[in-house]
C-alpha cells in the first residue's frame, strides 16, 4: 500500500513545457519547512532545478515560514538540494547541456512519510505550441459537448 499525499502541484509546468520524462527525487529540508509543508504552505509556480558541481539544487520554491517556528524559521526561497544517484545526475547533466532541456518540479508530495519531488525533464513550448494545445483542448471539449447533446 503506497500512500501518496500530494502537497502541491505545478500545473503551469504542463502548460509552459513539453514534459519528456519524470522521476521521483528526495529533497533536503529543515525542520520547520516540513511542518509548513504538512500545512500545505508551498508554491512551486516559478521553481526550477539546476545542476551545480555535480549536485542538483531547486530554486524558486517558496515555503512559507512556520507560524510557531519563531527563531528556528528558514529563508522561504532558499535553494534546496535534491537527492539523486550519481548516474541519474550524470544523465540529467547530459540532457540539459545538449538538447536545451530544463528541470522543472511538477509535484511535491509525501510518500512513505518522506517528502518527495516529482522532477520533470522538460523542453520549453513556443507561443504557437501553446496556441495549438489550446485549440486541440477546445476542439475536444466541443466534441464532447456535441456528443452529450445528441443523447
Alpha carbon distance 114, 34 (integer Å): 9
Global pTM reads 0.79
- C-alpha–C-alpha distance, residues 103 and 49, integer Å: 5
What is the pLDDT at residue 137? 87
pLDDT at residue number 14: 84
Contact (CB, 8 A) for 92 and 58: no
Give the model's pLDDT for residue 127.
77
Classify domain 4-150 by CATH number: 2.40.280.10
What 3-state class would DSSP assign to 101? coil
Given this model, what pLDDT does residue 26 score?
A: 94
Q: Domain ranges in the chain?
A: 4-150
pLDDT of residue 150: 63
| β-sheet bridge partners, residue 4 | 111
The tens-digit pLDDT sequence of the chain (151 residues) is 568 888 988 888 888 888 888 999 999 998 888 888 888 889 988 899 999 898 999 999 999 888 887 777 888 889 999 999 999 999 888 888 877 789 999 999 999 889 999 999 988 878 777 788 888 888 999 888 888 776 5
> What's the CA gap between 27 and 76, in Å, rounded?
15
Grid coordinates belonging to 21 = 520524462
Q: Are 44 and 8 in contact (CB under 8 A)?
A: yes
Amino acid at each position: 500500500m503506497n500512500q501518496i499525499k500530494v502537497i502541491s502541484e505545478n500545473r503551469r509546468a504542463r502548460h509552459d513545457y513539453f514534459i519528456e520524462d519524470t522521476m521521483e527525487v528526495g529533497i533536503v529540508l529543515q525542520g520547520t519547512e516540513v511542518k509548513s509543508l504538512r500545512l500545505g504552505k508551498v508554491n512551486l509556480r516559478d521553481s526550477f532545478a539546476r545542476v551545480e558541481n555535480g549536485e542538483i539544487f531547486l530554486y524558486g520554491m517558496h515555503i512559507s515560514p512556520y507560524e510557531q517556528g519563531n527563531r528556528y524559521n528558514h529563508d522561504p526561497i532558499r535553494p534546496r538540494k535534491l537527492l539523486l544517484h550519481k548516474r541519474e545526475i550524470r544523465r540529467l547533466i547530459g540532457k540539459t547541456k545538449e538538447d536545451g532541456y530544463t528541470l522543472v518540479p511538477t509535484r511535491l508530495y509525501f510518500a512513505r512519510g518522506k517528502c518527495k519531488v516529482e522532477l520533470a525533464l522538460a523542453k520549453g513550448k513556443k507561443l504557437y505550441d501553446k496556441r495549438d494545445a489550446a485549440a486541440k483542448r477546445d476542439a475536444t471539449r466541443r466534441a464532447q459537448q456535441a456528443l452529450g447533446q445528441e443523447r
